[in-house]
Amino acid sequence: MSRQTGRGTETKKVSAELFTLTYGALVAQLIKDYESDEEVNKQLDKMGYNIGVRLIEDFLARSSVGRCHDFRETADVIAKVGFKMFLGITPTVANWSPAGDEFSLVLDNNPLTEFVELPDGHQNLNYSNLLSGVLRGALEMVQMEVDVTFLQDALKGDNTTEIRLKFIRRLEDALPAGEE
Amino acid sequence: MVIYSVFVVNKAGSLIYHNDHSSSRPEVEKTFGYPLELTLKLQDERLLVIFGQRDGIRVGHTLLAINGEDVSGTKLGTDKNERNVMDVLNDPSNYPISIKFGRPKLSSNERIMLASMFHSLFAIGSQLSPEPHSSGIEVLETDAFKLHCFQTQTGIKFIVLTDPRQGGVEAILHRLHELYADYALKNSFYALDMPIRCELFDTSLQAVLEQAEKSGVYSGV
């Protein structure tokens, strides 16, 4: 997990392995605590959401990204700035829906799953489901309601990991004054 | 250069952080004989000077202390030995008497009220704009101070009151945003949208303000 800070020369980097292993420990514990994979997915999503609503402020404070007025712009920022800043990777944006309200983030190498082999009987577990919560929470704070799902997961034998983002609506009433 | 105070207002318009950095509220102490040459009036639970401006004591000042003893509202002294200030001032046997005057400090309730009032003003500012897509109020200038406001895309407002000549305030505001992201939001015990009571946030904010004052960028005299 690396990131560039906006504090001039001062950069803070954290070992990606430390982050990956901590996340692994978290998921392993959740599997022990809850009976079904669906419940674990739900918990990861919830945790991610709580991280996302805070993380967005860190992102905005350290990048000079302005407000997005188009979902394509949002996709670009998430892939090229957001993922780069917090995970050190740049996913590919692909599979746009004709209406331009849905796209996929394709992760060739997901840092979260670097050392992971999914044990048998966990076919329903979305190991990296925290990410979907983070995306949902962060976008909600900038007044975009989105739906995030995992379409493919490299851990389950797919070629890549694919996260699908669907734009639902603009949260107009939450729009701060002076922001169109 | 001087930075007077910092306010942070959440997207609902409530004050979640406040810091009085440098005070510009001079206090004057003077010994009086009987009768008092000042006209005092009770207003909002405070004793206000309404007439008789002299020796640095101005109309609008409140009575802060008598003979070194702090006045709270209209009462003097502690619970056990509580006296009404007016009774003390009307008794000739208490004279000569030393009284301290100064500008009243804002109470926390008043601050909360002013913050939410600014929140509405900011919104009105963008509504009244003759040009489309206007932001809200970013700078508000008076002859004694300048108010700078920065609203993040999530709707949090950072407001800094400075000397009108203080420069580089935009950089300070962005730095405050970073501090908020770091020391408030990354603190697991801080609940979103609630008042910020984080010591680390406090101390690093203090450091930023002090540094900005020292290197004070002049944009004028």
Which domains are present in chain A? 16-116+126-170 (3.30.1380.20)
Q: What total of structural domains would you count in chain B?
A: 2
Domain containing B64 equals 27-102
> Does A180 sit within 8 Å of B133, measured CB to CB?
yes
Taking CB atoms within 8 Å and a gap of at least 24, the contacts of A69-74 are A70/A100, A71/A100, A71/A101, A71/A103, A71/A167, A72/A96, A72/A100, A72/A103, A74/A139, A74/A144
B14 contacts chain A (CB < 8 A): no
- Provide CB contacts within 8 A for A21, sequence distance 6+: A115
**pTM: predicted TM-score of the whole model, two decimal places:** 0.84
Contact B52, B37 (CB under 8 A): yes
Q: Which CATH number fits the domain that encloses residue B165? A: 3.30.450.70
- Which of B102, B125, B147 corresponds to the end of one domain? B102
Q: How far apart are the first and last CA of chain A?
A: 34
Q: Are B156 and B57 members of one domain? A: no
B188 contacts chain A (CB < 8 A): no
Residues from chain A that touch B187, judged by Cβ atoms under 8 A, are none
A62, A174, A177: residue with CB nearest B123 = A177
- Quote the CA–CA distance of B14 and B2 in Å, as a whole number: 26
Q: How far is CA B203 from CA A50, B148, B182, B208, in A?
A: 26, 21, 13, 9
- Which of B102, B120, B148 corresponds to the end of one domain? B102
> Does A61 sit within 8 Å of B136, measured CB to CB?
no
Q: Are B63 and B120 members of one domain? A: no
- Which of B80, B102, B124 corresponds to the end of one domain? B102
Listed range (A77-81, A144-148, B13-17, B63-67) with the worst mean pLDDT: B63-67
Output Rg (C-alpha) for chain B, integer angstroms.
21
CA-based nearest residue in chain B for residue A58: B181
Q: Are B115 and B85 members of one domain? A: no
Q: Are B128 and B76 members of one domain? A: no
Q: Are B31 and B126 members of one domain? A: no
Mean per-residue pLDDT over chain B, rounded: 87
- In B10-45, where do the E strands start and end? 15-20, 27-32, 39-43
Q: What is the pLDDT of residues A94-116, one digit of tens each?
A: 999 999 999 999 998 888 988 88
Q: Are B119 and B187 members of one domain? A: yes
Residue B130 CB neighbour total at 10 angstroms: 5
- Provide CB contacts within 8 A for B42, sequence distance 6+: B48, B74, B86
A57, A66, A176: residue with CB nearest B181 = A57
Q: What is the pLDDT of residues B169-211, one digit of tens each?
A: 999 999 999 999 999 999 989 999 999 999 999 999 999 999 8
Q: Are B194 and B213 members of one domain? A: yes
Q: Are B38 and B125 members of one domain? A: no
